[in-house]
Amino acid sequence: MIISNQQDNEMEHLNKRIQTVAVLGAGAVGCYLIAGLAAKLGENLWIIAEGSRKERLKKEGLTINDRQLSLCVKTPQEAKGADLLIVAVKYGSLEGSLDAIEQIVDDETIVMSVMNGVDSEEIIGHRIGMQHMMYSMIKIASERTGHCVRFNPEVTEGVYFGEADGSLSWRVAAIESLFNDSGVRFHISEDILKKIWAKYALNISMNLPQAIVGCGLGGYRDSAYVMDISTKLKDEVVAVALAVGIDIREEKAASFDSRTVSPKARFSTLQDLDAKRHTEVDMFSGVLVRLGKQLGIPTPYNALALDIIKALEEKNDGRFDYQ
């Protein structure tokens, strides 16, 4: 019987368990995973930081859902060889984080990028090798205020992950074993690329219109114009996804349920603008416009959304606020 290299690799790692996890990025997304894994992993959960940020996190910890967590904080060099690295940085910080990622990863490290968007795996994989990447996405309802993070467990779906080819590999089994009996909700997906693109469409169509208008989630229910912007933005994502071979036309549109989500709810892009932080619009409409140009797909609504939100960032920076 001939055993392929892939089969041999699967057999070799059949009973491998993830013992150590490094988390790069302790914002709203990273904190959900930190809170969920802290009790199970203890000192084997490593938060990556350097310099004064490392000292602050060691001293102050994190406050997540009103619970104070003490942290094991390591530099990238100290975390070398972690079994699993979870990347949860802001998109604008990703390029600057690649050196740290490279320092953490060894031959056996699995890397999950739970960032929004559709290209972070390729950006990271280009530096360290795509063989390390486990495709993933996360759906949480969270908000950060200063050093405190709150997420709503009632509407938090958790992490979706899977191999790009849909196989149920030893790596999938190892991550499943890690998340079992932890506080992290998870779903194994045999069609993870479609899931990632569907969430990308959801983020663009639900994050950006309310950020432009400055309204809560109820605007999609109460204003036909806000909903029309949302629909046109999503249609452009669907067209680009089809051009790269991913069909999300049948994915359900987001619905507004006032029983579980307040009409005042504000998603991450508007939260960033409210706090005068720079947004992740480059990851949303910026990437889509670039892909559209490469593929010959018009994306005028996303191009306009990109310009408007970039202008709002400049206004927040004081570049042209003349009041």
pLDDT, tens only, 147-163: 789 988 888 999 999 99
Q: Are 261 and 155 in contact (CB under 8 A)?
A: yes
Burial class (CB in 10 A: 0-12, 13-18, 19+), 26: buried
* Three-state secondary-structure class, residue 33: helix
Each residue of 276-320: pLDDT tens digit? 999 999 999 999 999 999 999 999 999 999 999 999 999 999 999
Report the pLDDT averaged over residues 118-123.
Answer: 97
In this prediction, residue 49 carries a pLDDT of: 97
Asked if residue 253 has pLDDT above 70, the reply is no
Stretch 68-82: mean pLDDT: 97
Query: Token digits for 118?
Result: 């559709």
Q: In what order do the strands lie in the sheet with 21-24?
A: 72-74, 45-48, 21-24, 84-87, 110-113, 133-139, 158-162, 186-188
Query: Which amino acid does the sequence have at 168?
Result: L
Instruction: For residue range 214-245, list pLDDT tens digits in order.
Output: 999 999 999 999 999 999 999 999 999 999 99
pLDDT at residue 323, as a whole number: 75
Query: Average pLDDT, stretch 122-136?
Result: 98
| pLDDT at residue number 32 | 95
DSSP codes joined into one string, 113-134: E--SSSSHHHHHHHHH-GGGEE
Distance, CA of 100 to CA of 82 (rounded, Å): 13
pLDDT on residue 63 = 94
Query: Average pLDDT over the chain, rounded to whole?
Result: 93
Burial of 239 per CB tally in 10 Å (0-12, 13-18, 19+)? middle
Q: Residue 262: its pLDDT value, please?
A: 86
> With b meaning 16 or more CB within 10 Å and e meaning fewer, what string describes 252-280?
eeeebeeeebeeebbbbbbbbbeeebbbb
For 271, residues 6+ apart whose C-beta sits below 8 A from its C-beta are 143, 144
* Burial of 235: CB neighbours in 10 Å, binned 0-12, 13-18, 19+: middle
- Which of 137, 115, 130, 127 shows the shortest CA–CA distance to 24? 115
Cβ atoms within 10 Å, residue 305: 28
Neighbour-count burial of 217, counting CB atoms closer than 10 A to its CB (0-12 exposed, 13-18 middle, 19+ buried): buried
56's CB contacts (< 8 A; 6+ apart) are none
Dist. CA 79–CA 39, nearest whole Å: 19
Q: Average of pLDDT values for 51-58?
A: 94
What would the pLDDT profile of 160-218 be if each residue is shown by its tens digit? 999 999 999 999 999 999 999 999 999 999 999 999 999 999 999 999 999 999 999 99
Q: Which domains does the chain have, with CATH numbers?
A: 5-190 (3.40.50.720), 195-314 (1.10.1040.10)
Distance, CA of 215 to CA of 260 (rounded, Å): 18
* pLDDT tens string 2-23: 555 556 666 566 678 999 999 9
